[in-house]
Amino acid sequence: MRTSRQDLRRGLFQLAVMQGGYFTAAQAREIGYSYQAQHYHAQQGNWVRVDRGLYRLFAWPVGAHDELVRWTLWAGGRAVVSHESALDVHGIGEFNPARVHLTAPRAFSKRAVGAVIHTADLDRADIENREGFRVTRPVRSLVDVAAAGADSDQLGRAIEEAQDIGLLTPRRLRERAEAVDLKAALRIEQALGRLGL
């Protein structure tokens, strides 16, 4: 059974909507676009070639988190935005990472110059969905930066800020840190102590 052009466009659009307007060449192929058709659409300007094997629909507005969508697609959807990058998404703290931080399953082996790849098997409860990417929740993100040895003053300010806007309670943060990483739990406990929490 042949798929009509309208069905192909609809399928691609539905996929791109969930990914901030982006899609990979492999995803387009799965929908039914041959490599020749992909080349045609890129040449005609219907698709914008962003990187090797990565496209964006023409006229799709550029979003605040486009870089995170692109890195997630680079990782085949297996990585989650985490650590300082996740705190930046949540608007917590002043970490300003120079590179995107991603957490991927332990078996993940890809490496890239523009990203810091951490490996861990994350609980579903530690992850939330955003438009085109997944990100660790604030509590898990704070535990991750504490485990990575974040500056104690920065960590304390981020914890205080997250609590002030209702994203965590000290009890929940302590519990999650103890469950994930004892070194992080100690650093978080010290930060909470300085904050009088």
How confident is the model at residue 1, as a pLDDT? 43
How confident is the model at residue 197, as a pLDDT? 83
**CA geometry: angle 11, 17, 23, nearest 5 deg:** 70
Instruction: Identify the segments of the chain with pLDDT beneath 70.
Output: 1-3
Side chain identity, residue 89: V
How confident is the model at residue 188, as a pLDDT? 96
Q: What is the pLDDT of residues 147-188, one digit of tens each?
A: 999 999 999 999 999 999 999 999 999 999 999 999 999 999
How confident is the model at residue 52, as a pLDDT? 85
Q: What is the pLDDT of residues 139-158, one digit of tens each?
A: 999 999 999 999 999 999 99
Structure tokens at 19: 């990914």
Stated as kind and residue range, the H or E segment containing 118 is strand 115-119
CA–CA separation, 42 vs 163, rounded Å? 47
How confident is the model at residue 21, as a pLDDT? 92
